[in-house]
Structure 1
Amino acid sequence: MSPKPLIAITSKKILAKAWGSLTEYVFDYLHSDGGQTSIKREVYDHGSAAAILLLDPDQRLITLVRQFRLPPHLNGNDPMMLEVCAGLLDGDTPEVCAKKEAVEETGIAPRDIVFAFDIYASPGSLTEKVSCFIGFYGEADRIGAGGGLDHEDEDIEIVTIRYDQALPMIASGAIIDAKTVALIQHAALSGHFG
């Protein structure tokens, strides 16, 4: 493990505060060669999250969700992103959050959950750390309709694909969400796809 860099925050200014906060930081960074630089960065913080890849090992299926995302739209990409279930922690533990999001978004209550890894999707500008899980389910674990929560303006389509479709969908660009790509690749490398 590399040593922690030495920094001293010299100023902090909140630029915007709504759903999350955008803060400008100025800090002195001490380089490994002994030099020092003053750096200015904007950091967005809306809390950390949990994500869960739902696997049906008997049927060899993955359940994902598709929903509108504004940033891809602004970049000229298809805004209807295919993703694993995920949500902000909002005071819950990551495991509790992952289970709750699975039920809200897909109606599936996974019977077993395994921690996979923590990930920062964009550590250069976002504080969000996503705790990632794999959740195993069968037909008996479908306890609701899913589709998200109306009061959170969620309009979620439930999408079920075969294991053998997942990696090719990443290669073709049909799945480009970072947490989803990482969880699918982790599941394949860990032998969860059999």
Structure 2
Amino acid sequence: MNDANNDNVKILNTEILSDNWYILKKVTYAYKQNNEWLTQQREAYDRGNGAVILLYNREKETVILTRQFRLPTYINGNPSGMLIEACAGLLDLDNPEDCIKRETEEETGYKVREVRKIFEAYMSPGSVTETLHFFIAEYAESMKISDGGGLEDEQEHIEVLELPFNEAYQMIETGEIKDAKTIILLQYLKVHAIL
């Protein structure tokens, strides 16, 4: 969290509403706008920062994605609750590069040595504090060291998908891929003519 002082913002009160999975806070603050102080209340969900990566193979023109059950999507109308995504995870205490290398190995079974950070972004700044670090990396069959699928102790059941890039990109249009971070990374590869 940013503790930097801002002359236009004053935190008046912070109340923790939930500290079950991550932290949900109710914050009362004053914000100076047009020389007038406005008092507002907002809830902010703090789950830490994360990293996401899209693995691609130039020779085969393929990408590696994952499929897993996501309860919030099920609650909001996704009939199966399954979501196709790029590999991602929370930083915990790692730096973004170490985190995404670890997550890549756990989720996809590929051990990548070199990753390229392309940018950072807030994914839902109206309610979630998370900054997401975006990466891309080339993969080859020789990097496959396990089946992936996530960690048993984290109750992850992740299916690893190797898809032709053009097919994955079409899945945005058909609605088969609805995950924002994945859409952004697929579009990045397309715009920069990487595949």
What is the TM-score normalised by the length of structure 2?
Answer: 0.93
144, 147, 151: which one pairs with 2:146?
144
91, 101, 104: which one pairs with 1:102?
104
CA contact (8 A) 2:50 2:131 kept: yes
DSSP 3-state at the match of 1:11: strand
| 2:46 equivalent to 1:45 | yes
CA contact (8 A) 1:112 1:137 kept: no
Misfit runs of 4+, over 2 Å: 33-36
Give the aligned residue type for 2:95: T
| Aligned 1:37-116 pairs, distance under 5 A | 37-77=38-78, 78-116=80-118
What is the CA distance between 1:64 and its match in structure 2? 0.3
What is the CA distance between 1:178 and its match in structure 2? 1.2
What is the distance in 2 between the residues matched to 1:5 and 1:51?
Answer: 34
Give the aligned residue type for 1:15: L
What is the distance in 2 between the residues matched to 1:155 and 1:17?
Answer: 25
Report the CA distance shift for 1:57/1:25 in structure 2 as closer, same or farther (over 3 A).
same
Q: What is the CA RMSD across the aligned residues, in angstroms? A: 1.3
CA contact (8 A) 2:50 2:88 kept: yes
What is the CA distance between 1:187 and its match in structure 2? 1.5
CA contact (8 A) 1:54 1:110 kept: no
What is the CA distance between 1:111 and its match in structure 2? 4.0
Q: Over residues 78-122 of structure 1, what are the superposed CA-to-partner deviations in whole Å (9 max), with x where a residue is unaligned?
A: 410000111111111101111111110110112431111111110
Give the aligned residue type for 1:35: E
Give the aligned residue type for 2:59: D
What is the CA distance between 1:37 and its match in structure 2? 1.4
What is the distance in 2 between the residues matched to 1:185 and 1:110?
Answer: 22
What is the CA distance between 1:6 and its match in structure 2? 1.4
Instruction: For structure 2, list consecutive stretches of 5 or more residues without a partner in the other structure.
Output: 1-5
What is the distance in 1 between the residues matched to 2:194 and 2:173?
Answer: 19
What is the distance in 2 between the residues matched to 1:26 and 1:112?
Answer: 43
What is the TM-score normalised by the length of structure 1?
Answer: 0.93
Aligned length: 189
What is the CA distance between 1:167 and its match in structure 2? 2.2
CA contact (8 A) 1:5 1:29 kept: no
What is the distance in 1 between the residues matched to 2:170 and 2:147?
Answer: 28
Give the aligned residue type for 2:70: R
What is the distance in 2 between the residues matched to 1:167 and 1:137?
Answer: 18
Question: 1:7 aligns to what?
Answer: 9
DSSP 3-state at the match of 1:112: coil
What is the CA distance between 1:5 and its match in structure 2? 7.7
154, 162, 171: which one pairs with 2:156?
154
